[in-house]
Amino acid sequence: MGAAINVHEFAMAMNDGRQQSLSAYRGKALLIVNTASRCGFTPQYASLQRLYETYHDRGFEVLAFPANDFMGQEPGTSAEIRAFCDTRYHVTFPLFAKISVKGNGMHPLYRCLTEQSGFNGPINWNFTKFLVAPDGRVVARFGSRTDPMGRELISRLEAVLPVDGGEAAATAR
């Protein structure tokens, strides 16, 4: 499970339009999250920021992918999304350009996450989370209701955080 894809193979547009290869995050544990500014789960931005601040120095990144796929809950432009995240939640983790996480326009990253990661199934709502080991393998999936600072997510994250030499502490399976 989870070995079918490697997220490091993808390049994505950042919120400011620059292209970013996800291979730049090789050696780090990642939490990939589809986000929205007008959702009941939007306050999870605060938990994501806290999680990022807690574990960033240990080789962890949150990668946020705004998506407007659920009831128009992310209608803003890139600049509006950035301003919202900066002012409301003081987000310092990487914010990518808005993408689609379902349907015909689904971004290839999310097609792989939902069809080839070993944690398959459609994205049902905003703030679905995929935990990625430092080698680029998806090792866990969490639904919208899972708080980023919840014990379940944190224990899985701690199991894959890099240790000396950038290798994973364990295989979180």
pTM assigned to the model: 0.92
Which range has the worst mean pLDDT, 3-12, 29-38, 112-121? 3-12
Range 73-79 contact pairs with CB under 8 angstroms and sequence separation of 24 or more: 73/36, 73/37, 73/38, 73/39, 73/126, 74/35, 74/36, 74/37, 74/38, 74/39, 74/98, 74/126, 75/38, 76/37, 78/15, 78/16, 78/17
In contact, 163 and 169? CB cutoff 8 Å: yes
pLDDT tens readout for residues 133-158? 999 999 999 999 999 999 999 999 99
pLDDT at 163: 79
pLDDT at 2: 40
- 102: Cα separation from own chain's centroid: 15
Burial 141-173 (b: 16+ CB within 10 A, else e): bbebebbbeeeebeebbebbbbeeeeebbeebe
| CATH class of segment(s) 7-166 | alpha beta
Both tokens of 20, joined, read 């970013």
Catalytic residues: 39
pLDDT tens readout for residues 51-92? 999 999 999 999 999 999 999 999 999 999 999 999 999 999
In this structure, the number of other CB atoms found within 10 A of the CB of residue 16 comes to 12
Q: Domain-by-domain residue ranges, the chain? A: 7-166
